[in-house]
Structures are given as structure tokens and as C-alpha cells.
């Protein structure tokens, strides 16, 4: 039975004192988060083979067990945590597994692997294993991180760790160049994308740093044309972050990580200081850096060219071909889509189940389905920001904002790139796309948000009794 407090009926995360735990609500939502992907799995099997997939029982039990383990640990170790975050992540993870399995059945992808002399390796079982590892890390976060404020002690260690993670792909013999981007490292036969983990570690550093420096950054400024401009000495942090993000972009050809890295800092800087001038300065520096690098870096320039005119270089450039096919997938889907398992987004090739998996959703579920997916992401971001509002300590507020901002930026750069709104970045859609690093890191991110929300929503302890009050009691005869 969940713990409840009858003194209040407030269901909002804000106003945390006395809030009910909502664990039974989470359990009910988790049932839907498992049942919906199971029905989607059946739908795909009927569309492709006309039969219910033989792996239905294993998939349903596997996803249900992962959800059950997550729920039991939250109920036991974070009883006042936000009730929506776990079901939303489970639903997205489950739908991602279904669509990755659907693409595994594509004869075109089998033929493509054969034409290259490779044996086709199904991605869905491996993704289910990565999801289990992600849940294990999620459980580890909730078990080991009793109070998120402990992370504040490791502010500068987090800075060093994040720099190491960002620069690891440049180490000779360790880093891997995959289609022009050096964002992977290979250890004992496993490929890891360190940038996915760096976004969490660097959020810890930004939170600890800005909590100490925010007064100097907010108050010591000069007014110019309606903007409060910081002093030159206070521009140091943002100039450093800008330079590091440019180095990542130049040497690793990783537009997504550099955008995520710099954008997250500017968002947290704005939240910490409430100065609009930081947003203006950040956007200006971001645009200047992107234009400068796109002019000289060949890989980034090809992606910008593909974004500007995807059909002009369709026959000559792989980047143009991919974005062109992605746009055609969205167009083919229309409003309601072709139906799960009945699209042709597998024509995009190897990237169909990673960078471009959102195009598969757009084609087979249509505009309505794509908007529903974005709404699920939006709810995760909204719950993260509500957690930040409810947090009682400035470090927790900044950390929740940073993690939610990083999640939102990643959704924007991936979905925007696949739909042709911005140049492609090479990042993966959280929880949906095939990729172990992404799903594991994002489960850890959700675990930290749940820990912050548990602290924020936990009822405040009763005030200690005042011994002086007992000494002044009036005793009637």
C-alpha cells in the first residue's frame, strides 16, 4: 500500500510538503506503458507476416519485468518520487524496441548487409539487453545516491571527468571514426559513445559551479542597449565552454555534442542569474562558432549542404540521400501514417534504426503519431522542470534544470535534424533509437531526476519540540 497523507489533496509536484506518494498511480500507468508496446508488437507482426510474432511472450515478459523492477525499487527507495517519469521512459523504451524489431525484419537491410559481405545482426535483442543494463544503472542510482546534494562535493572532479569523456574518442587506438564522426570508443569489442554520459557528469559540474558563482555573474554587470552585459572577467567561463565545444566540433566532427554541451551551459546560466543577456551572448557565440566551423570542416559542411538542399545533391552525397529519404518518409506518412510495419523507411539503410528511427515513426504512425511521441518527450521535460521548481536547494534546482535542458536539446537536435529543420547531428533519439550508450545514460538521467523529485516531494520533518515551551506551561489548580 502506498504511503499517503490525508492532510492534503494536492496532486502537484509544487508545494511538496504533505504530497501523496502516488506509487499506485505509477503502477497503473506502468501497466499501460507495457501493454501499449505489446499491442504495437502484435500489430507489426500481423502487418509483416500475417501472424502474431513468436517472440511476443518473451518480449512482453521481458519489458514487464524491467518495469516491475524499476517500480519496486522506486516504491522502496524513492517513495515520493515523481509518478510519471518511470512510465513515460518505459513506454518510449518499449516502443523503440518494437520499431527496432520491425526494421530487423526488413529484407532490404538483410540484402544490404549481404551485399557488403556481412552477416545481418538483429538489433532488437541487443537493445533489450542494453535496456536491462540501463534499468540496472537506474536501480544503482536510486540505491547508492541517497541524497542528490552529495554530488555537489564532486563539482571539479565532475569537470575533469566530463573533459576526459569528451576527449576519449580522440585517443589513438581507442577512438573510432564512424562515417566521419569521431564520437565512439571501442573497449573489449564493445562500442561506447562517451558523450552520452558526459552530458550527465557535466550537468553536475555546471550546477556546483553556478551555485557558487551566480551572484557575481548576475550582479556585477553594465547596462548597454537594454542588456546587462557581464564584466570581462566574468565572461571567462562561457568563453571556456565555447572554446571546448568548438574543439569538440572541429576535432570530433560532432555537431550534436557541441550544441548540447554549450546550449546546456547557457540554459543553466540563464536560470541561475535570470539575465537575458546571457541568452543573447550565447546565441551569438553559438552562431558564430557554427558558421566558422561549417566553413572549414568538411564533414560539418557536407551536413549543412544537405540541410540547405537535400535533393540538389541527392545522387552525390550520402548525407543528402539520407535526409532526402527521411523527408520523403514523413511525407509518405501523411496525417495518420501507413500503419506499423507497412512503411519503407528502411530504404534509409543502416541509420534507419538509430539516427533516423523518428522518420520510421513519422511514416508509419503519421503526423499524429510523431506528435504523440514528441508529447511523451515533452512530458518528461515538463516533469523535470517541475522537479526543479519544487526542489528546496539551489543545487538540486540547477541540476534538474540542467538534466531536463540536456534532454530537451537532444530531442530538438535529433528530431529537427531528421525533419530538416536544422543540420543533422548524428545523435540518437533517447530511448527510441538503437544504441546502448544512449539508452543506458538516459535511464541514469531519469534515475537522478527521480531522486531529486523524491527529496523535493518528501514531507518536511516535524519541527523539534521546544524545551522552553514546556518550562512556561501554565498549570491550573
Kindly report, residue by residue over 350-401, the tens digit of the pLDDT.
667 777 889 889 999 999 999 999 999 999 999 999 999 999 889 999 999 9
Of 13, 142, 126, 2, residue with least CA distance to 70: 142
Q: Does the model's pTM come out above 0.85?
A: yes
* Residue in 128, 138, 72, 134 with CA at minimum distance from that of residue 96: 128
pLDDT above 70: residue 14: no
224, β-bridge pairs: 227
Report CA-CA distances (Å) from 127 to 95, 101, 130, 431.
Answer: 12, 9, 5, 10
H/E element, 128: helix 124-144
User: Among 67-76, 129-138, 158-167, 269-278, which is the least confidently predicted range?
Assistant: 269-278
Mean pLDDT calculated for residue range 130-148: 93
State pLDDT tens for residues 161-175: 888 888 888 787 777
**Ordered strands of the 181-187 beta sheet:** 175-178, 181-187, 190-192
Measured distance CA(370)–CA(385) in Å, rounded: 23
pLDDT tens digits for range 282-298: 788 777 777 777 776 66
Q: Is 174 helix (H, G, I), strand (E, B) or coil?
A: coil
pLDDT at residue 26 in the model: 92
Name the average pLDDT for the chain. Answer: 82
Res 131 pLDDT > 90: yes
pLDDT of residue 232: 64
Q: What is the pLDDT of residues 104-116, one digit of tens each?
A: 888 888 887 787 7
Lowest-pLDDT range, 8-22, 30-44, 73-87, 158-172?
Answer: 8-22
- The segment with the largest mean pLDDT, out of 2-11, 251-260, 418-427, is 418-427
222 against 205, higher pLDDT: 205
pLDDT digits (tens, 9 = 90+) for 92-107: 999 999 999 988 888 8
Q: Answer yes or no: is pLDDT of 428 > 50.
A: yes
DSSP per residue, 56-102? HHHHHHHHHHHHHHHHHHHHHH-TTS-SSHHHHHHHHHHHHHHHHHH
C-alpha cell at 300: 560539418
What pLDDT digit, counting tens, does each position of 286-336 carry? 777 777 777 766 677 778 888 888 887 777 777 788 888 888 888 888 889
For range 203-231, the mean pLDDT = 75
pLDDT tops 80 at residue 338: yes
Closest CA to 440 of 261, 95, 197: 197
Question: For 423-436, what is the mean pLDDT?
Answer: 84
Amino acid at each position: 500500500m502506498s504511503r499517503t497523507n490525508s492532510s492534503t489533496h494536492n496532486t502537484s509536484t509544487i508545494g511538496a510538503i504533505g504530497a501523496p506518494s502516488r506509487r499506485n498511480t505509477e503502477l497503473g500507468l506502468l501497466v499501460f506503458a507495457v501493454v501499449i508496446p505489446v499491442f504495437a508488437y502484435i500489430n507489426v507482426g500481423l502487418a509483416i507476416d500475417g501472424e502474431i510474432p513468436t517472440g511476443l511472450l518473451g518480449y512482453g515478459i521481458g519489458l514487464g519485468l524491467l518495469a516491475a523492477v524499476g517500480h519496486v525499487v522506486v516504491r522502496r527507495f524513492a517513495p515520493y518520487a515523481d509518478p510519471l517519469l518511470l512510465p513515460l521512459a518505459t513506454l518510449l523504451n518499449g516502443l523503440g524496441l518494437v520499431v527496432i524489431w520491425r526494421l530487423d525484419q526488413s529484407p532490404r537491410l538483410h540484402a544490404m548487409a549481404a551485399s557488403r559481405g556481412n552477416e545481418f545482426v538483429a538489433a532488437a535483442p541487443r537493445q533489450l539487453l542494453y535496456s536491462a543494463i540501463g534499468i540496472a544503472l537506474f536501480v544503482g542510482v536510486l540505491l547508492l545516491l541517497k541524497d542528490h546534494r552529495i554530488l555537489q562535493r564532486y563539482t571539479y572532479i565532475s569537470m575533469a571527468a566530463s573533459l576526459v569523456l569528451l576527449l576519449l574518442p580522440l585517443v589513438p587506438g581507442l577512438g573510432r571514426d564512424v562515417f566521419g564522426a569521431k564520437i565512439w570508443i571501442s573497449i573489449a569489442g564493445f562500442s561506447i559513445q562517451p558523450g552520452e554520459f558526459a552530458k550527465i557528469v557535466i550537468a553536475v559540474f555546471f550546477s556546483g559551479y553556478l551555485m557558487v558563482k551566480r551572484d557575481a555573474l548576475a550582479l556585477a554587470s553594465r547596462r548597454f542597449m537594454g542588456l546587462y552585459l557581464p564584466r570581462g572577467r566574468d565572461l571567462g567561463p562561457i568563453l571556456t565552454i565555447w572554446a571546448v565545444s568548438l574543439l569538440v566540433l572541429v576535432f570530433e566532427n560532432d555537431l550534436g555534442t557541441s550544441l548540447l554541451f554549450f546550449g546546456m551551459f547557457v540554459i543553466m546560466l540563464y536560470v541561475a542569474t535570470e539575465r537575458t543577456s546571457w541568452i543573447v551572448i550565447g546565441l551569438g557565440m553559438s552562431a558564430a562558432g557554427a558558421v566558422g566551423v561549417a566553413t572549414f570542416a568538411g564533414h560539418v559542411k557536407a551536413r549543412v549542404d544537405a540541410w540547405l538542399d537535400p535533393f540538389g545533391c541527392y545522387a552525390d552525397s550520402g548525407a543528402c540521400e539520407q535526409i532526402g529519404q527521411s523527408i520523403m518518409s514523413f511525407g509518405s506518412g501523411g496525417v495518420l501514417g501507413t500503419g506499423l510495419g507497412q512503411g519503407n523507411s528502411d530504404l534509409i539503410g543502416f541509420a534507419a534504426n538509430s539516427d533516423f528511427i523518428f522518420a520510421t515513426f513519422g511514416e508509419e504512425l503519421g503526423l499524429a503519431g510523431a506528435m504523440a511521441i514528441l508529447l511523451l518527450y515533452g512530458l518528461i521535460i515538463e516533469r523535470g522542470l517541475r522537479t526543479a521548481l519544487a526542489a528546496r536547494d539551489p543545487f538540486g534546482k540547477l541540476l534538474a534544470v540542467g538534466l531536463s535542458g540536456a534532454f530537451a536539446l537532444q530531442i530538438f537536435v535529433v528530431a529537427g535534424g531528421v525533419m530538416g529543420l536544422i543540420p543533422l547531428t548524428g545523435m540518437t533519439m533517447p530511448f527510441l533509437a538503437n544504441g546502448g550508450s544512449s539508452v543506458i545514460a538516459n535511464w541514469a538521467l531519469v534515475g537522478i531526476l527521480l531522486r531529486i523529485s523524491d527529496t523535493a516531494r518528501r514531507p518536511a520533518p516535524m519541527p523539534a519540540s521546544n524545551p522552553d515551551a514546556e518550562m512556561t506551561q501554565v498549570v491550573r489548580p
